[in-house]
Structure 1
Amino acid sequence: MTMKHTCLFAIVAFCLATPAATSTPAQQAPAPSDQPSPEVEALTARIRAAMAAAIENNRGRDSSEIELAVSQAVEDVISASGADPMVVQAALRLAMAREHCLLRDDQTWSHVGCEGLNRVSMAVGAGLQGPGATGGNGGIAGPGVPPPTSGGGGSDYRRGN
């Protein structure tokens, strides 16, 4: 199994491990709305615009350079947003869905820019899993969880980390 498959399986497993799925019927939360929140929608729109601009500004370059430009542009949008990590994760997933990003059987993405989105999504997902997933010092501060206190920058996407 390739590294991409392993990472994608981990992301899918993380997505499926929701509190509603692990609680007893008496504890289940109300079903979430099928519609993303306005905050997720707005961030998704900014992510998609940054992706499109990065692709356009790097047209004619090697695909790996375009993917890196997409990753950097999306990271800049996320950093500037100051959004909650769960909102960021939802917006990245929605952006990938709306861009019709699919990993094909030959391990290539359905179109340019998808690998860049996936890189950022994987980093956010790993950060949300905490220090164990990021080698001990990283992690993204979630609700009720303080940011890493190590001296250096962690895996947190916010400025200054």
Structure 2
Amino acid sequence: MTITPTTAALAGTSSPTASTTPDTAPETTPPALADTTTEAGTDTTADTPEPSEQTSANVEAAKWRRQLRDTEAERDGLRERVDALLRADAERQIADKLLRPDALWTAGVALADVLDESGAIDPAKLFDATADAVARLGLAAPARTPRPDASQGGGKGGSSGSGWVDAMRV
């Protein structure tokens, strides 16, 4: 039987006396099976982790990094959703005070400026910021005046007194 470096490594032997065939080079010991003693005679394999241990550690570290990136992306997405909901709530609260409630943010008011310590919208801070935006930029909503509806109450000037009696007759 001819032992090649590959079969010697698989068999777990590192015999330098293995026979060779004329068409192959003399067998050398694979680097993984080479003697790991130093000049002082100490074994260095205990200090360096096995390649399979390094690979599994790298795979596990990559898994945790990937999970961290996914969690951070999810957190950022949720933060954006909460901010959008808070902005919509603030705009709803000031809809009657500004011509366009979303103009509050364009006026330079930050969402953090109108939040309280717990992260909810503080109505006092919101209305102060709205009043400031109205004063600086003239963003006030026009006053609504009621307009009369000509279709209502346009009947005859007086009552004849027999309205119900006429309505009940068939």
Q: What TM bracket, shorter-length normalisation?
A: under 0.3
Of structures 1 and 2, the larger Rg is shown by 2
Q: TM-score, normalised by structure 1?
A: 0.21
Whichever structure has more helix as a proportion of its residues is 1
Relative CO higher for 1 or 2, CA cutoff 8 Å, sep ≥ 6?
A: 1
Could you state the TM-score of these two structures normalised by the residue count of structure 2?
0.20
